[in-house]
Structure 1
Amino acid sequence: MFKNSRRLPILTKRRRKKPGSAPGTVEHIGEQRLDDIQLTIHDYDEDHLDEIHIEDVEESRPYLENPSKTWIKVCGLHDIEKLKSIWSYFDLHPLVQEDIVNTTQRPKAEAYENNMYFVVKMLSWSGEKQQIESEQVSLVLSNTYVLSFQETDREFFQPILDRLKFGNVRIRKNGVDYLMYALIDAIVDHYFSVLEQIGDRIEQLEEQLLDDPDQEVLHDIHALRRDLIFFRKSVWPLRDVLNATIRDETSFIDDNTKLFLRDVYDHMVQIIDNIENYRDMVLSMHDMYMSHVSNKMNEVMKVLTIIATIFIPLTFIAGIYGMNFDPAASPYNMPELQWYWGYPVAMASMAVIAIIMIFYFRRKGWF
């Protein structure tokens, strides 16, 4: 049985900034998942790759001044003061700053004078909790660098790092816009992994429904339905974001990279179709469970009705001969009450009537 059958719905976990706050108000909204903010620089071109952990954003200056491509990865969103030093160094718009630390943002893309800003939801499957885990990833794309902000230090971009280690690969030859595409593509690939896990859960629930489902199965069906709603809400806007990015004219993304983004868009269409199919399957499982409960109740009612029907004539006979009338005082003589064999004959009659009714019900196929 799934462990998440009684967990709180993901959709109820919401936090917002205070009503009336000015636009651009920087306030971390979400859970603190790291003790310290971590900064890592990946500087590369066709000939070299450097990976450096830094403590202060000023240490990135030599890499940003070189013609190479630079990816600065920021892990942790709770230390506002340290983040402000990063934002100030790269001259990020106040609205971008606000969105980076607000982890309840929906996927979107916004173009500014010096950069483009993307919000993407990183989804993964927790085997321990048996549920979807979400993390907000913010990407800032400039002409020479990419900034990525994530809530944890989880290495879900490890496949990108592995590809950067090889010299003669496309990601080392192309610009930072291709790196941005690769990061989004890696996130979308995780969506397929989540779909596989949800598909396995659906198969397990179907097997339980075909056996003898209990109340726990209904809890699991509702939990799976909540997961799919959350999944759909987290990824659906990304399809529109990719479509708009492909169609818009921008100096930060060249036409060659847009071809690859179109492939990611196709993947998103496929993912959304699968989510809708899974939602229909879950609704069908709910109907199947309710039909099973209804059929089971009908079986119980049929058995009880048959038993009651058998006892109706027996109760009639017992009622006739159970009346407290004195046969000597009554003008209507009931000779069976004084008959020596009256009791055994009455019991035998009851047994014969019950047997005849049971045989008749079986002939009719009622049980």
Structure 2
Amino acid sequence: MPFQAIPRRLKLWRGQRRSKLSDLAAQIVPPAVFPWTQDGAEDFFAEEPGSTPGTLRIDPDAAPSELIAIDYSRTHWERQLLAAPTDCEPLLDSGSVTWLDVQGLGSEDVLRQLGQVFRLHALTLEDIANVPQRPKVEFEDDRILVLVHMLSPRGKGGGYFTEQVSLLLGSNYVVTVQEESEHDALEPVRERLRTDRGIIRRMGSDYLLCALLDAIVDGCYPAMDYYAQEIERLECAILFEPDRKLMREIYMIERDLLTLRRWMAPQTHAIALLMREQHPLISQDVRAYLQECYEHATDILDVVTLYQELTVNLMNLYMSAVSNRMNEIMKVLTIVSAIFIPLTFLAGIYGMNFNTETSPWNMPELNWRYGYLACWLVMIVIACGLVLYFWRRGWFKNSF
């Protein structure tokens, strides 16, 4: 029975993966400002027109595939490095639970062997290998496929980056396929299995799937804290020292949050569908834990929406701060102009050079002994009077 797509193949042609606007933004803002954003991370994978369905597009720069199997039960825990997916077949026939973690999408042979071992449809294997896909969940009689996105810490460089994680649930196994092996948010689950903390080793594969989804969702909280600190920092910087580069940083945060919301919304819907679907592979007890996972995903989605609104408010605050700063500059120029206008008027009058010998009314004060000093005194009195007037009106507050 083929998979029921929920949705099946939402792969619209979008032209190039990066639009001209994204290219322009990359030139304006250095990518090191927010290092978790990857080139082309805004768009999901798009098929080329006329391509054959089920074609695997292996990125030449993709990490080679590594296979790690964790087999556990109530009484034992074992971790193995496998050379090929076929090596896990003996584990699948045992009565324990097996977690096969495939790290890296650079080996097409490994991915095709994985499809043969677990009898994956060609379109399903295509969704696993051709990343990034839109988060979704697909149901079959004896398995469930879940595609989600995960935020992982970058490490020493700081920041976060996103990658797709494909989860395949069977009766006694869970298969996860990641894009790389260096960083992920699944280490807490590995530690719980190793130390036998909690009830994870006494539950089935459905609980392991729920634990992995919960770790992926909870891995978004540190990124939300990161953005909260960035928004608070930008708000203080805008209030006290607005600068043009702040507007570029606000734009990058808004762009990152838009990308987060774009895959977080369908991911939340996928978890809700997984929780509500009455599938025999998911027990009623595990549905309660999926409910908590769904609440966490909804909480993160609400936080992303809130931060998007805050970035819009930051943009408006920046424009208001720049406008107020311009008003202050204009006020200073107005004060200076108001003081020098009467002085310029007097200087213009006495610069007309009328001949005093032609008429006694042609500026007789020019021949006065103290005429020059009197002119200076009048101009000083006018300037001081205007300064005193503006000061009493409060025009000098926050102007200099």
Q: Which amino acid aligns with 1:41?
A: A
Shift of the 5–86 alpha-carbon distance from structure 1 to 2, 3 Å rule, reads closer
Asked whether 1:21 is paired with 2:87, we answer no
Q: 1:148 aligned to 2:176?
A: yes
Give me the CA root mean square deviation: 2.3
What is the distance in 1 between the residues matched to 2:79 and 2:153?
A: 28
Q: Distance in 1 between matches of 2:33 and 2:98?
A: 44
Could you say which residue in structure 1 is the equivalent of 2:130? 102
| 1:220 to 2:249 alignment | yes
How far 1:264 sits from its partner (Å)? 0.5
Structure 1 residues 168, 231: CA separation in 2 closer, same or farther (over 3 Å shift)? closer
Matched, 1:80 2:108: yes
Larger deviation, residues 95-104 vs 226-235: 226-235
Residue 218 of structure 1: CA displacement? 2.2
CA distance in 2, matches of 1:96, 1:191: 26
Name the structure 2 match of 1:197: 226
One-letter amino acid matched to 2:57: E
Contact map agreement 1:72 1:145 (CA 8 A) in 2 = yes
The residue number in structure 1 matching 2:210 is 181
Seen in structure 2, the aligned counterparts of structure 1 residues 12 and 91 have a Cα distance that, compared at 3 Å, is closer
Q: How does 1:22-101 map to 2 (within 5 A)?
A: 22-28=52-58, 32-34=61-63, 36-101=64-129
What is the distance in 2 between the residues matched to 1:281 and 1:163? 37
- What residue number does 2:274 align with? 245
Mapping for residues 154-173 of structure 1, pairs under 5 Å:
154-167=183-196, 169-173=198-202
Give unmatched runs, 5+ long, in structure 2: 1-29
TM-score (norm 1): 0.92
CA distance in 1, matches of 2:291, 2:395: 61
Structure 2 counterpart of 1:328:
357
Letter in 2 for 1:324: N
| Shift, 1:168, TM fit | 7.4
Work out the number of aligned pairs and report it.
364
Return 222-231 or 136-145, whichever deviates more.
222-231
AA matched with 2:347: A
The question of 1:271 aligning with 2:292 is answered no
* Compared CA separation, residues 263 and 289, structure 1 to 2 (3 A): same
Inter-partner Cα distance in structure 2 for 1:86 and 1:205: 47
Percent identical among aligned pairs is: 37
1:160–1:182 contact (8 Å) kept in structure 2: yes
User: Who is 2:240 aligned against?
Assistant: 211
TM-score under structure 2 length normalisation = 0.85
Q: Is the 8 A contact 1:49 1:164 kept in 2?
A: yes
Partner of 2:140: 112
SS of the residue corresponding to residue 220 of structure 2 reads helix
- Cα distance change, pair 297–6 in 1 and its aligned pair in 2 (3 A): farther
Q: Is the 8 A contact 2:271 2:294 kept in 1?
A: yes
| Equivalent position amino acid for 1:319 in 2 | G
User: Shift of residue 8 of structure 1?
Assistant: 11
